[in-house]
Amino acid sequence: MNVYDFEVKTRDGKMESLEDFKGKVLLIVNTATGCGFTPQYKELEALYEEFRDKGFEILDFPCNQFKGQAPGSDEEIHSFCTLKYGTEFPQFSKIDVNGDNAIPLYKWLTENTTFHGFRDDKMKKILTPIVESMDKDYMNNGKIKWNFTKFLIGRDGEILRRFEPNESMEEVKEEVKKALS
């Protein structure tokens, strides 16, 4: 099984096969418009602009599971992202990434990756107690811990790397470059 085995719902409610992205390097991200990491949209768009002509796509999945930080309809979220951050990468329908209602793509991503902890910075001090209050066993499972968790997928559809929300976007960029070469 790989990423191409999944279908996801577009903003307009249609199902799209991820096979449509076959042969491309993908960065799959669960996002939110009211999160402390929301400014990463700007960095994500810069990454997209730099590499999209080289076979790179960002797949954006808004998620409201983390303290209700993605309120609004799919269209309201899309308008916010395009107007405030100029995003042009594909944005899909709002989803759940954890729990019984998690979409199959995210069940696969979380079952096939490991959480290695948050990068040691000021956000770690903020995130850790919040995440621990929601999941006492958070260090021992692959569940998504917060918005802006990213998965790098190789051209073959296999998971190359998981990035937690507070990992450096420079690190993400370096790994994308490697995957594209």
Q: Which whole number is the average pLDDT over 70-95?
A: 95
Point out the residues that are catalytic: 35
What average pLDDT is seen over the chain? 95
Q: Please state, in angstroms and as integers, the Cα–Cα distance from residue 106 to each residue in 52, 115, 132, following that order.
A: 23, 14, 21
Residue 179's pLDDT is 98
Show the domains of the chain with their CATH numbers: 3-180 (3.40.30.10)
| Residue 181 reports pLDDT greater than 90 | yes
The per-residue pLDDT for range 142-175, each reduced to its tens digit, is 999 999 999 999 999 999 999 999 999 999 999 9
| Residue 120 reports pLDDT greater than 90 | no
Tokens of 176: 């994308």
Residue 106's pLDDT is 98
* Contact yes or no for 156/2 (Cβ under 8 A): yes
Question: What pTM was estimated for this model as a whole?
Answer: 0.96
Count the neighbouring beta carbons within 10 Å of the beta carbon of residue 98.
20
Q: Please state, in angstroms and as integers, the Cα–Cα distance from residue 146 to each residue in 62, 117, 139, following that order.
A: 12, 12, 13
What confidence category does residue 32 fall into, taking pLDDT thresholds of 50, 70 and 90?
very high
